[in-house]
Amino acid sequence: MTYKVGPKGQVVIPKHLRDEMGIEPGDEVAFWRDGDHLAVRSLRSSRPLKGRFAGRPLAQLLEQERAADRAREG
């Protein structure tokens, strides 16, 4: 997919990408050059952590480690 840069240098971030990244109207974003391309990141500081890693192996591993710790302690 390609998009045209407007006369003021503006480009619309596609809706599906805004949704995936949690970018909403009024949010601040940062831009930086990464090699031969441009990157953008939301600067939302209030994005909740709860549920962000649900269903991923990292969260499952942490849950297993905590369960093992609790079993050793009590």
Spell out the domain ranges in the chain. Answer: 15-73
> Cα dist. 20→4, 11, 62 in Å?
22, 18, 24
pLDDT at 42: 86
Question: Tens of pLDDT along 4-59?
Answer: 999 999 999 999 999 988 899 988 999 999 999 999 988 875 566 777 777 778 87
Residue 38: partners with Cβ closer than 8 Å, 6 or more residues away = 31, 32
Provide the token pair at 8: 């003021």
The rounded distance, in Å, linking the Cα atoms of 35 and 4 is 21
Nearest in space to 14 (alpha carbons), one of 26, 6, 32, 2: 2
Q: Is 27 helix (H, G, I), strand (E, B) or coil?
A: coil
Query: What local confidence, expressed as pLDDT, does residue 5 receive?
Result: 95
